Amino acid sequence: MNEILLGIDAGTSAVKVCAFTPAGELHAKAQRPVPLITSHLHWAELDLERYWELVTDALREVSADAGPVVGIGIATTCPTTVLLDAQLEPVRPSITYLDNRASGMMHRLVRRLGGEEAAFAATGNRMSPSTCSAGTLRWVMEYEPEAWARVRHVGFLNTFLVARLTGELATDPTQASYSGLFSVREPARGWCPELLEAVGVPRGHMVPIHPPEQRVGSLSATAARSTGLAPGTPVAIGAADTASAAFALGINRGYKAFESVGTSGVVTFCLDEPTLDPAFLNRQHIIPNLWLAHGAMSTVGGAFGWLNDKVWPELHDLAELEQLAASSEPGANGVVFLPYLAGERSPLWDPNASGAWIGLRLGNDRADLVRAVFEGTAYGILQIVRRAEECWGWRPQRMLSVGGGTKSRFWLQIKADALGMELSRGHITDASALGAALLGGITGGMFESVTDPQLPTVRSEGDAVSPSADEQHLERYQRMARIYDGLYPALATSMSELAAVYEESGAFAR
């Protein structure tokens, strides 16, 4: 059988294990849903023992139909804070980026570092639960002191998986970028002593930081029995999922930006210099001397899941929503949707932002409401693209789009019209898994380095989607986008007040 590369894409909603050929073509795939633990308001955790069972189960399924494995790489959701004891066992469930319990701790840390500007200068990211695990660590210290007393190793989800696969400990710069304990601008410094001191984390607790492609170990005999893979298989530490996708897409080799659409929606820009902006989530790229800035909206795809699950369950999937929306007009007959169903990250950074349909009248119908959701996500992406242009003086003329949401050509057309740029679909949706597999290929000796020109990349599939030739449609989208821009500033205070009522009502627990 032919050699393959294995990529583990470890997310908060699913674990995917993908086997690829050396040419980057998908050979086999196994996926397992992940149960997210939300036992308290603002909590979002993972049971790591259960998580490991899901990973090994998926690996066994893929290995049963795979040839010799050159190497294994890992792409993980980030930041997901993992605390291990002296035996490399989890001290407590891991705390994901969706968890907001440490917001108060984060505010205290920001003050300790001299304010928001000083904290951003020190770390390269705004101090929030979705970009910084430092507040989470502080929360465990103060509220779970018995658990913290057992901690000997602080890392991330890739740390845990590598420990189980090889018995070694490590993380990588793309994960460390979201710790609040590392300088994105100066990655060579490693863990920053002044930041560790501010949080109260002993330097000896932090796991080593290695390049994503580095071989951190080989598959142990125990892990081989659990996974069905050969003992001694090389394992790379891997990278954060969006960074891994950027690597697989060959960002900075043709494209300077790309869009990924899942539950969240992220527009990623590649920078030659660390000219970072707090509207974005910032990190070092897998490729040395490059940086990634992610404009991340929280519920781009999640808004459609909400429509299917909570609003109109008789509409079973995105295709049915698309069919209904197509019967409305560009501009949704004067209805705008704000897609802030879980607060919002870029560019607002407001956990209290909430969703809304604005402009409803008796003449509007369900088709208008659904189309407004498609269009509202596009206006949010447009805000991110414009902010990037303000920051760095350039605007992409085309973008590659990856992820499950790219299956809808209708949605791609709305985004192309609203953004005024060409969008292309990637030939595979599992770009993060491919990026991880390629890192495994490097650590296994199939490729020389992360800059090897022989590395395959995700390519565009089918015809690109260009902006409509109908000027009236384009003008309508531009007009609606201007209206969209004014709605959050006008409603922010009311949204904050409504968030308090929501929490008091207990609706989150349904």
Residue 510 scores a pLDDT above 80:
no
Position 254 scores a pLDDT of 57
Q: Are 188 and 121 in contact (CB under 8 A)?
A: no
Residue 113 scores a pLDDT above 60:
yes
Section 260-282 average pLDDT = 92
- Whole-angstrom distance, CA of residue 366 vs CA of residue 324: 8
Position 187 scores a pLDDT of 92
Coil/strand/helix, residue 41 = coil
The phi-psi region of residue 495 (left if phi > 0; otherwise alpha if psi is between -120 and 50; otherwise beta) is alpha
Section 89-94 average pLDDT = 98
Q: What is the pLDDT of residues 356-413, one digit of tens each?
A: 999 999 999 999 999 999 999 999 999 999 999 999 999 998 999 988 778 889 999 9
The phi-psi region of residue 334 (left if phi > 0; otherwise alpha if psi is between -120 and 50; otherwise beta) is left
Task: Residue count of the chain, please give it.
Answer: 510
Q: Please, which pLDDT band fits residue 210 given cuts at 50, 70 and 90?
A: very high
**DSSP-based helix, strand, coil % in the chain, nearest 5:** 40, 20, 40
Q: Are 217 and 167 in contact (CB under 8 A)?
A: yes
Q: Please, which pLDDT band fits residue 506 given cuts at 50, 70 and 90?
A: low
What share of the chain has pLDDT > 90, as a percent? 82
Give the other-Cβ count within 10 Å of 395's Cβ.
Answer: 16
Between 500 and 490, residue with greater pLDDT: 490
Section 107-129 average pLDDT = 93
Between 475 and 13, residue with greater pLDDT: 475
Domains and CATH numbers, the chain: 4-237 (3.30.420.40), 254-510 (3.30.420.40)
- Whole-angstrom distance, CA of residue 133 vs CA of residue 128: 8
The first and second tokens of residue 184, run together, are 């994105």
Q: What is the pLDDT of residues 47-90, one digit of tens each?
A: 999 999 999 999 999 999 888 999 999 999 999 999 999 999 99
* Type of residue at 103: S
Residue 507 scores a pLDDT above 60:
no
Residue 235 scores a pLDDT above 80:
yes
Across all residues in the chain, what is the average pLDDT? 94
Query: Nearest CA to 258 among 267, 270, 248?
Result: 267
Position 427 scores a pLDDT of 87
Q: What is the pLDDT of residues 409-452, one digit of tens each?
A: 999 999 999 999 999 998 888 999 999 999 999 999 999 999 99
Position 124 scores a pLDDT of 96
Q: What is the pLDDT of residues 471-483, one digit of tens each?
A: 999 999 999 999 9
* Alpha-carbon dihedral angle through residues 77, 80, 86, 90, given to the nearest 10 degrees: -90
Coil/strand/helix, residue 42 = coil
